[in-house]
Homo-oligomer: A and B are copies of this chain.
Amino acid sequence: MAEPRRGSTSPSRPAVRFDLDDPVLAAAAWSRVAEPGDVVAGALVEHLGAAGALRWLVDAATDPAGAWRAARIDRLPLPESPTVPGGPSPGVRDGADAVSRLAAAVRRWAPRLDSLDPRRELRVLERCGGALVTRDDPHWPAAFADLGPTAPFALWVRGRADVAAWAERSVALVGSRASTRYGERVTEELAAGLADRGFTVVSGGAYGIDASAHRGALAAAGTTCAVLAGGVDRYYPQGNDGLLRRTVDDGGAVLSEVPPGSAPFRQRFLARNRLIAALTRATVVVEAARRSGALSTARRAADLLRPLGAVPGPVTSMASAGCHGLLRDGAAVCVTSAAEVAELAGRIGHDAEPDGPADGDDLLGELGPDERMLRDALPLRSGATVDGLARSAGLSPRRVLTLLGGFERRGLARCDAGRWSWVR
C-alpha cells in the first residue's frame, strides 16, 4: 500500500461552521459523526452532554493529549463494545483501556468533522416537512433509555413527531422481504386489527412483510411508522416510495437516527433494528426464513426484555422457518391474531384477551362421564333393559335408573314396555 495517501489525514483543526454550544445542533452533529450504536460516542455524550462532547472531540482531533487531561476523560466508564451488531468495532484490541479506545474513536470520528454542518441537514429535513427530536425533547421516547450507551442521539422524523406519545401504544411487525402471499395476508390482517385497537404499527419500510404491515395499518385508517436505515430525505427502497409517502400523509411517521443524506448501509439496517425493538411495546415476527435479518430485530427485542411474538406458518414453508425456530427455542410466544398480539403488547389489565371456549368434545360438553357412557350404551331403536344398560355402561342399575330419569325429563330417552332407547 502506498504510504503517501496517509499524509493527507494528518490532524488539523477542523473548520466548524456552526454554534458548538447549541445542544440541538450538537445532537444532530453526533448523529452524523458517530455511526449508530457507537458505545464510545454514547458514553461520551452521556458524560459531557452532546455539546460538551462535541467540543471535546474538536479539541481532541487536534491535540489528543490535551483533551484527555482537560476533561478527565480517562475515567470515562466505557461499556464493553460493540454491544450492538450494527455498532462499530472498538478499533483496538479487546480489553484496551479507556484512553486507547477513545483515541481509536477520535480517529474514526475526526474524518467527519471537516464537512460537518448539521444546520444544512436540518434545512433538508425542514424542506421535507420533518422535525428533529433530541433527548431533551418532551417527545423523546423514554423507552430508548433501555438502550443505554447505544441509544440514538437524535431522531430525524417526517410526520408525527410526538414519538413518545404514539410509541406508548405501538407494536413492531417485522419479517422477510422474501415473503409469501400467506405472510403478507396475515401481516395485513394483524396490522389492521392492531390499528383498530389503537396501536401504532411500526416496521422497517422494506419490501415484503414490512410493507404489508404499513399497508394493513393504513387500510384500517391507523397510524404506522417506518424506521429507516438511511436518511429520511430519501424514501428507501424506491419501490415503497408511495407507501412511505402515504405513511407520513395519513398521520404516521417515517424516522431515522441518521441525518438526511446518509446512505442505507447494511450495517445501519442491523443497527436500525434495535430502534424498532426498543421503541415498541412488543415485536412480532410474521414470516422469516432461518437466516432472515428480521431475526436480528427479534433478538434485540429479547435482549431488551420486550415481549416477542412469532406467527407460525406451514412447516413446509421456508419463509416461516425462522418463526418456528423462535417458538422452538422458547424465545417467542406463538401469536395468531391481532387480539393475541394486543395481549402480548398490552399493559396488565388492558387488552387481555378473554379466554376462548374450554377445550373438550363439543357434543359431550353438557353430559357427565356416567351420562355419556349411558348415552353411548342406549340403543337408538330396539331399546334395552336397565340391567342390560348397567352391564354395557359399567354402571350400577340404580345409577342407570337415576340417569335415565334425568334423560327422560330432558326428553333425551324414552321407555317402551320396560326397554329404554335414545330419543334423538
Contact = CB atoms under 8 A, between A and B. Distances in A.
Interface of A: 1-2, 5-6, 8-9, 34-35, 38, 82, 85-89, 91, 104, 107-112, 114-115, 182, 185-186, 263, 265-267, 270, 290-293, 295-296, 299, 311-316, 320-322, 324-325, 327-328, 330, 333-337, 340, 356-357, 359-362, 364, 368-370, 372-373, 376-377, 385-387, 390-392, 394-399, 401, 404-405, 408, 415, 418
Given A91-B399, A315-B311, A401-B1, A391 B115 contact: yes
A312 B322 contact: no
Contacts of A325: 356, 359
A95 B295 CA distance: 54
Nearest to A286: B315
Contacts of A290: 356-357, 359
A359 B185 contact: no
Contact of A359 (B1, B107, B322, B398): B322
A8 B388 CA distance: 11
Nearest to A1: B405
Contact of A295 (B35, B114, B359, B369): B359
B334 A89 contact: no
Contact of A361 (B88, B293, B356): B293
Contact of A370 (B9, B89, B327, B359): B89
A183 to B, nearest CB: 10
A39 to B, nearest CB: 12
A333 B325 CA distance: 10
Nearest to A358: B291
A291 B363 CA distance: 10
Contact of A186 (B2, B6, B316, B334): B316
A315 B337 contact: yes
A299 B399 CA distance: 29
A122 to B, nearest CB: 19
A314 B323 CA distance: 12
Given A111-B397, A386-B6, A324 B295 contact: no
Contacts of A111: 387, 390-391, 395-397
A348 to B, nearest CB: 18
Contact of A373 (B35, B359, B377, B385): B35
A398 B368 contact: no
Contacts of A112: 391, 394
B361 A34 contact: no
Contacts of A368: 89
Nearest to A376: B265
Contacts of A362: 291
A1 B361 CA distance: 31
Contact of A392 (B87, B263, B293, B386): B263
B265 A373 contact: yes
A333 B340 contact: no
Contact of A35 (B360, B361, B386, B394): B394
A369 B182 contact: no
Given A314-B182, A360-B291, A369 B89 contact: yes
Contacts of A296: 359-360
8 contacts: A88-B369, A88-B370, A91-B396, A108-B390, A108-B395, A114-B391, A291-B359, A312-B315
B334 A418 contact: no
A372 B291 CA distance: 17
Contacts of A386: 5-6, 8-9
Given A340-B328, A404-B1, A108 B396 contact: yes
B390 A88 contact: no
Contacts of A293: 361
